[in-house]
Structure 1
Amino acid sequence: MTQFVKQLADYRLTTAEILYHMPDHPGLLQTYVWQDLDRAPQFPELARFLDFWQRRLDGKLHSVKVASLNLIRPAEVRVAGFCVTLH
């Protein structure tokens, strides 16, 4: 699917801040920021990525913070307070 078609299917811009333990120094945490179009509240794309992370990468996950925003929204309408005509 193209990104526009995904947005019409209620996919939203989703950002996840992933904290994980460094493989060589488990006492230290590092941040990874993941961003993609995903469908709230299930977030299947993020779940797929986190599943990949746990199966294939060495850094053990500590926590994940998720933020989501609709990109296509109803238009905002503002009425002009005055009208000016120029020749």
Structure 2
Amino acid sequence: MANLIRQLDDYRLTTAQILYHMPDHPTLLQSFLWQDYDLAPKFPVLHRFLDFWTAKIEGKLHSVQVASQKLITPGELRLVGTELILH
């Protein structure tokens, strides 16, 4: 239920592919996939995660690709006007 409320507040499912340098082998790149609900276009949740990564994780960031999709659009959400009860 909490995720539905967040989506109604315009949060979107956001996926980021993070490429980073391996700490022991800096010439090699490793891929990490991150996914959470976030607000486009500023992505504050992703920025907090990347700030954490930069401060606490040894792998230096190479690049970040972001994809975001709004899950609930106005046409998909509608209220039901009738309720039928069967015995």
TM over 0.5: yes
Q: What TM-score, normalized to structure 2?
A: 0.83
> For residue 79 of structure 1, what is the aligned residue in structure 2?
none
> For residue 45 of structure 1, what is the aligned residue in structure 2?
45
Equivalenced residue count is: 76
- Identical aligned residues as a percent: 66
Any idea what the Cα deviations from partners look like across 1:29-48, whole Å, max 9, x if unmatched?
A: 00000000000000000000
| Runs of 4+ with >6 A deviation | none
Q: Any gaps of 5 or more consecutive residues in structure 2? A: 77-87
Give the distance between the partners of 1:10 and 1:74, measured in 2 at CA: 11
Instruction: Give the 5 Å matches for 1:1-87.
Output: 2-75=2-75
Q: Any gaps of 5 or more consecutive residues in structure 1? A: 77-87
Q: Shift of the alpha carbon at 1:75?
A: 2.9
Structure number with greater Rg is 1
Give the distance between the partners of 1:2 and 1:40, measured in 2 at CA: 19
